[in-house]
């Protein structure tokens, strides 16, 4: 989806580049200024909500941790439920897990087995799509928990890392391409 130029400029101005963080060579996209400004926070959630209006969903699944910050108000605004996709070891009860590769080593994300009803239509949300490993693991997790992934929505897509190539059969919606 393409944003009105004025809104795009507003959002871009509230994203801070932090060079060489958390490791050398990475430019961290810090969305704290965008979240702290009520105008841009609302604008970002409203723009993401437009996606949900175009594609009806039953639940929003947010990826820990910044996917919670965006996904929970998005679910609330759309009148649907929210499911946290959490890092390993945070959730009680019976879980579904998916592991994925990071630059060094692996990480695991989890949801509770009863998080979704069979066939639920799920929109997965995160703040940044980089290499796509996190998003692909979340898609795998939601599907193995018995639900259907109808889209992956992010505030920022780092196009040079080609993360959407890891999600060949999932519609990817990014508000900003940086």
Catalytic center residues = 66, 103
**Is 15 a binder of ligand AMP (CB under 6 A)?**
no
Question: What are the distances in angstroms from CA 133 to CA 103, 110, 137, 147, 161?
Answer: 10, 14, 6, 20, 11
Nearest distance, CB of residue 41 and ligand AMP, angstroms: 17
Question: Please, which residue, 108 or 146, has the CB nearer to ligand AMP?
Answer: 108
Site for ligand AMP contains 97 (CB under 6 A): no
Q: Which stretch binds ligand AMP (CB under 6 A): 43-51, 76-84, 87-95, 121-129?
A: 121-129
Which of 57, 128, 142, 153: binder of ligand AMP (CB under 6 A)?
Answer: 128
Parallel, antiparallel or unpaired: strands 95-101 and 106-112: antiparallel
Q: What is the nearest approach in angstroms of ligand AMP to the Cβ of residue 1?
A: 20
How does DSSP assign the chain, residue by residue?
----HHHHHHHHTT-EEEET-SSTT-EEEE-HHHHHSHHHHHHHHHHHHHHHHHS--SEEEEETTHHHHHHHHHHHHHT-EEEEEEETT---SSEEEEEEE-SSSEEEEEEETTSS-TT-EEEEEEEEESSSHHHHHHHHHHHHTT-EEEEEEEEEE-GGGTGGGG-TTS-EEEEEE-
Q: From the list 62, 71, 73, 132, which residue makes contact with ligand AMP (rule: CB under 6 A)?
A: 132
CB 29 to ligand AMP: min, Å: 4
Q: Is 130 in the site for ligand AMP (CB under 6 A)?
A: yes
Confirm if 72 and 82 have CB atoms less than 8 A apart. yes
Number of residues that bind ligand AMP (CB under 6 A): 17
Choose between 55 and 101: whose C-beta lies nearer to ligand AMP: 101
**What x-and-dash track marks residues 20-59 binding ligand AMP by CB under 6 A?**
------xxxx------------------------------
For ligand AMP, the binding residues (CB under 6 A) are 26-29, 63, 66, 126-135, 163
């Amino acid at each position: 989806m393409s944003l009105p130029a004025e809104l795009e400029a507003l959002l871009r101005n509230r994203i801070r580049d932090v060079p060489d963080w958390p490791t050398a060579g990475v430019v961290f996209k810090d969305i704290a200024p965008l979240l702290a400004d009520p105008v841009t926070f609302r604008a970002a959630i409203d723009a993401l909500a437009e996606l949900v209006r175009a594609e009806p969903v039953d639940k929003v699944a947010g990826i820990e941790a910044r996917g919670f910050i965006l996904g929970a108000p998005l679910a609330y605004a759309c009148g649907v439920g929210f499911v946290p996709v959490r890092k390993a070891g945070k959730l009680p009860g019976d879980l579904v897990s998916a592991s994925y590769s990071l630059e060094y080593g692996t990480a695991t994300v989890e949801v509770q087995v009863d998080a979704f009803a069979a066939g639920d239509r799920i929109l997965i949300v995160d703040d940044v799509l980089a290499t796509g490993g996190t998003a692909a693991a979340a898609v795998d997790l939601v599907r193995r928990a018995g639900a259907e992934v109808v889209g992956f929505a992010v505030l920022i897509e780092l196009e040079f890392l080609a993360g959407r190539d890891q999600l060949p059969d999932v519609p990817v919606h990014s508000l900003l391409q940086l």
